[in-house]
């Protein structure tokens, strides 16, 4: 069975459109139709049904989708294993939002310049979710906040950046002790379900600070925008630019400020280890 046919089939299922599939795969619409007909002939069942303007998977298609995805993943693993020099292949990389804009562009440029045979499939998400995907095998590596728990011995870590936390306040706020600012303004809290939010909560408890709770948000960018509009103060990591456009805040150092460590996490037994090592080399230099 030609795995190109499986890839075409899965792309149609995701997009619902033969024309969009042709565009994404850089083939003609007639080639898309030919591949689907050939796959249906091999399977012995119709795979697609038209519902209005969209193509939907048939019952037979839904039954084979998971297996088809596994076959394509195994093909990627096979190619990666054969690339002993880590020069070509696909890596599935989970990335937290602040690293997606502040760290990954430089890594992508370095890979494009030095390792053009390596493709990255980027999966944005929160650190906890990315850890679940990595440990479940759906990611090859993840760029995330260092876990707050001891790493299993089967995993390795490379630090890319250490970020001090700071207190941010609305524009024009005069310098004052941290406890004064926390008492004066509502506190916009980083979601405690996130690893970064837990670190802030631990800091407040260690310093015996009791802020006036305002909103609890799961987006650092949204917190910055709200602070810039005068809705409160917050404690956030000093993540790399770009920050939200047009945002202006006052930033103040914190006593005994906690550090957020951002880096790469991967399994030592990963099937695409040569590619991962190449990624790490370029990431470290970038």
Residue-wise pLDDT tens digits, 143-170: 999 999 999 999 999 999 999 999 999 9
pLDDT at position 137, please?
A: 87
- Which segments of 44-177 does DSSP mark as H helices, in order? 59-82, 97-102, 104-114, 127-136
Express each pLDDT in 164-218 by its tens digit.
Answer: 999 999 999 999 999 999 999 999 999 999 999 999 999 999 999 999 999 999 9
pLDDT at position 80, please?
A: 59
Average pLDDT, the chain: 90
Residue 246 reports pLDDT greater than 90 = no
Domain 3-82 class? mainly alpha
Tell me the CATH number for domain 163-260. 3.40.190.10
Residue 81 reports pLDDT greater than 70 = no
> Which residues make up the CATH 1.10.10.10 domain(s) of the chain?
3-82
Structure-model confidence comparison of residues 264 and 74, the more confident one: 264
**Three-state DSSP state, 50:** strand
pLDDT at position 2, please?
A: 79
Query: Which of the four CATH numbers 3.40.470.10, 3.40.190.10, 1.20.1070.10, 3.10.400.10 does domain 89-161+262-285 have?
Result: 3.40.190.10
pLDDT band for 85, please (50, 70, 90 cuts): low
pLDDT at position 84, please?
A: 53
The contacts of residue 118 (CB under 8 Å, 6+ apart) are 86, 87, 88, 89, 90, 91, 111, 275, 278, 279
pLDDT at position 245, please?
A: 81
Average pLDDT over residues 15-44: 89
For residues 103 and 143, is the Cβ–Cβ distance under 8 A?
yes
Question: What is the DSSP code (8-state) at residue 16?
Answer: S
Express each pLDDT in 30-55 by its tens digit.
Answer: 999 999 999 999 989 898 888 888 88
Q: Which residue has the tokens 């926390």?
A: 182
> Which residues make up the CATH 3.40.190.10 domain(s) of the chain?
89-161+262-285, 163-260
């Amino acid at each position: 069975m030609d795995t190109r046919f499986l890839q075409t089939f899965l792309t149609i299922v995701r997009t619902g459109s033969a024309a969009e599939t042709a565009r994404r795969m850089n083939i003609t619409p007639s080639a898309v139709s030919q591949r689907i007909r050939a796959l249906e002939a091999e399977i012995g069942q119709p795979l697609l049904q038209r519902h209005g303007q969209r193509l939907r998977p048939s019952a037979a298609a839904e039954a084979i989708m998971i297996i088809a995805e596994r076959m394509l993943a195994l093909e990627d693993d096979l190619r990666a294993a054969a690339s002993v020099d880590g020069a070509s292949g696909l890596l599935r990389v989970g990335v937290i939002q602040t690293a997606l804009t502040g760290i990954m562009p430089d890594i992508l440029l370095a890979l494009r310049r030095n390792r053009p045979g390596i493709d990255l499939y980027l999966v944005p998400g929160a650190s906890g979710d990315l850890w679940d995907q990595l440990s479940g095998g759906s990611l090859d590596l993840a760029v995330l906040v260092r876990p707050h728990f001891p790493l299993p011995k089967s995993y390795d870590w490379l630090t890319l950046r250490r970020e001090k936390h700071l207190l941010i306040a609305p524009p024009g706020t005069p310098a004052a002790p941290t406890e004064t600012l926390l008492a004066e303004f509502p506190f916009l809290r980083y979601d405690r379900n996130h690893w970064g939010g837990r670190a802030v909560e631990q800091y407040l408890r260690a310093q015996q600070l009791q802020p006036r709770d305002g909103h609890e948000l799961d987006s650092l960018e949204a917190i910055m925008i709200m602070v810039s509009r005068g809705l409160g103060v917050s404690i956030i990591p000093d993540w790399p630019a770009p920050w939200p456009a047009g945002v202006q805040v006052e930033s103040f150092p914190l006593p005994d400020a906690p550090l957020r460590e951002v880096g790469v996490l991967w399994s030592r037994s990963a099937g695409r280890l040569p590619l991962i090592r190449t990624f790490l080399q370029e990431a470290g230099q970038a």
